[in-house]
Structure 1
Amino acid sequence: MATEDDVRGLALALPETSEKLMYGTPAFYVRGRWFARIKEEGDLLVLPVASQEDKQELIAAEPGTFTTTPHYDGHAIVLVRFGAVDAGEMGELLTDAWRLRAPRRLVASLGDG
């Protein structure tokens, strides 16, 4: 089960990542663009995904892990339940979100595709 401390450590380990508040909760940014935010409830992580289709596929495939709210309807943003993923899976999700928001040259510097 991933924790808020896991999320913070994994996110801040990514290149040029910083933490600041968004809507009163911790959020993680790469060069000024957010890529993850802990929801007010503290047990959900807000992450951008590549498309609304990807969002719907994640929710349909793993509804115990991924969810959404009406607030995010029409947006390529998914909510991840902390208790449904381990730290390794959370790291992959954070890295994917980071790659979506980071500048291309920075992504290329990370390597491995």
Structure 2
Amino acid sequence: MPDLDDVRRAAARLPGSEERATTGGAAWFVRGKLYAWECHPWPSIPDDLREIIAAELVVGVKVADPVDALALREMAPDVFLGPTTRWGEPKIAFRMAHIDADHLAELVTEAWRVQAPKYLRREFFGDDA
């Protein structure tokens, strides 16, 4: 089962990525923009999701479009949670106990790509990604 160290490893290979400790846990930024974070059971989160987040490790990541989040939830509803809050959209939260390391790395990389400036995307991907 992946853990926050796996998120750290995936994030560490991305140009401009920076980990910060927040009141909710670990979070990863690129050029000051949040792209991945450890979820915390805030009172503003719906009760059913707050129970899951309080009981197990859940990570959130930015996605390019709300349709992407919906597709992930439909593809694997046991892994991807429903909307946690309205702010910070589009994003998706997922249960770390139910995701494999390769998919985790892909989600972190894609979240970084969504938030990274073009010059960093070009540095990492080698094109206009």
Structure 2 residues without counterparts, runs of 5 or longer: 41-53
Please, what TM-score do these two structures have when normalized by structure 2?
A: 0.78
Is 2:75 the counterpart of 1:61?
Answer: yes
Larger CA deviation: 61-70 vs 27-36: 61-70
**Mapping of residues 26-105 of structure 1, within 5 Å:** 26-40=26-40, 41=54, 43-72=57-86, 75-105=89-119
Match of 1:4 in 2: 4
Amino acid at match of 2:22: M
Q: Could you say if the C-alpha distance between residues 43 and 109 of structure 1 is closer, same or farther in structure 2, counting changes exceeding 3 Å?
A: same
Q: CA deviation at 1:21?
A: 2.2
SS at match of 2:64: coil
The alignment's TM-score, normalised by the length of structure 1, stands at 0.88
**Structure 1 residues 18 and 73: CA distance shift in structure 2, 3 A:** closer
Deviates more, 1:74-83 or 1:88-97: 74-83
Q: Which runs of 4+ in 1 moved over 3 A?
A: none
How far apart are the structure 2 equivalents of 1:50 and 1:30?
A: 15
Number of residue pairs the alignment of both structures matches = 113
Show CA shifts across 1:53-105 (max 9, x none).
Answer: 11111101110111124424782110011011121111111000000000011
Query: How much has 1:24 moved relative to structure 2?
Result: 3.3
In structure 2, relative to structure 1, the CA distance for the partners of 1:74 and 1:28 (3 Å cut) is closer
Which protein has the bigger strand share? 1
Q: Which runs of 5+ in 1 are unaligned?
A: none
The secondary structure found in structure 1 opposite 2:2 is coil
Contact 1:43–1:83 at 8 Å: present in 2 too?
A: yes
Percent of counterpart pairs with the same letter?
Answer: 30
RMSD of Structure 2 on Structure 1 (CA) = 1.9
Aligned equivalents of 1:68, 1:47: Cα separation in 2: 13
